[in-house]
Structure 1
Amino acid sequence: MKRETITLAWGGKCAPAADSIFQRGLEPAVPVAAVRVPRRAAVPAPLAGQWLRPEPLDMCLDLWKIWMAGDADRDLGIKTTRFLNGGDGHSVDLYEAQQASDTRIAEATDAMIDSMSRIHAWAIYRLSGQATAWTFPNASLSEVGQEARGELRKLLKKNVCTGVFF
């Protein structure tokens, strides 16, 4: 039996090729009914270009960590879009506007952390890598850290500056 050859925009002639799968008289080595294919649970794989929304608490803490490091201005003062602004003084530099917004979020997060109890604030500092030692030997860092993150989430939800993320 001959199959048609499928080509993409091929105008020439092809030699007929015998396809051994469709020849009569050949049986598969293993019966098809005996072959068992394991089924996997239908879990949608994330797409490569799919954007996943970050956790609001983690986003606020990331901005706070950058602000605490004092390294928010990584370009050493060189503003790449400064020359695109008009000379009237009313134009907006998007880089500076984003940096000002990040600074406001970080300052609000810092204020909310400072308003927490000492053990919870220290747990946030320790979990964020701002502190190196856990100074509460009678308390578990993992338990207190979960409580502190829950309390900080409540405080950041109530804050005017950070509440829009939750």
Structure 2
Amino acid sequence: MGEAVRKIEVRYVQETPLDFCLDLWVRFCRRDDSSLGWRGRSALLESDAYADPDQLYERREMQAAEAMDAMIGSLKTHHGWAIRKRCGQAMLWRFPQLIFADVLAEAENILTEQMKKNLATRNYFN
């Protein structure tokens, strides 16, 4: 029997540190913070003394997401809006005099440089 020809081409798209951290930021923006992090448990159960690896990773990722939130907030308005639109946090492009693709590329470059300098996000570039 002959080998079947695959009709759908398989491509691997490598995830960049910016993509990963923006995913963390989107989860951070959409989180349910009504429990204020206690999740109905005692503060002793949420302490650093006996945190399991999942809690440690989650805490580290939320620190990176908070840093991303601060960095995005520090961008110029049109750059921040481009990042929000890219991530689905904004629906409309409010700057008709600017080309979205160009502004997004500028914003991603600025944000990547800030991420390389930030203590919470620079480890994703190793």
TM-score (norm 1): 0.57
Paired positions, count: 104
- Tell me the distance in 2 between the aligned counterparts of 1:151 and 1:95: 31
Structure with the greater alpha carbon radius of gyration: 1
Compute the displacement of 1:65 (Å): 0.5
Task: Map 1:6-17; keep pairs closer than 5 Å.
Answer: none
* Equivalent residue, structure 1, for 2:94: 135
The one-letter amino acid paired with 1:121 is G
- The share of aligned pairs that are identical, in percent, is 36
Task: Map 1:43-82; keep pairs closer than 5 Å.
Answer: 54-71=15-32, 77=39
Compute the displacement of 1:53 (Å): 6.4
- Tell me the distance in 1 between the aligned counterparts of 2:74 and 2:54: 30
Structure number with the higher helix fraction is 2
- Pairwise CA RMSD of aligned residues? 2.4
Deviation string, structure 1 residues 3-26 (Cα, Å, up to 9, x no partner): xxxxxxxxxxxxxxxxxxxxxxxx
- Asked which structure has the greater RCO (Cα within 8 Å, sep 6+), the reply is 2
The one-letter amino acid paired with 1:135 is R
Aligned residue among 118, 122, 126 for 1:163: 122
TM-score (norm 2): 0.73
Aligned residue among 72, 83, 108 for 1:149: 108
For structure 2, the residue ranges without an aligned partner over 5 or more in a row are 1-9, 34-38, 42-47
- Tell me the distance in 2 between the aligned counterparts of 1:126 and 1:53: 21
Question: Which runs of at least 4 in structure 1 moved beyond 6 Å after TM superposition?
Answer: none
- Tell me the distance in 2 between the aligned counterparts of 1:98 and 1:165: 13
For structure 1, the residue ranges without an aligned partner over 5 or more in a row are 1-44, 47-51, 80-88
- Tell me the distance in 2 between the aligned counterparts of 1:129 and 1:90: 37
* Equivalent residue, structure 1, for 2:81: 122
1:150–1:104 CA distance, 2 compared to 1 (3 A): same
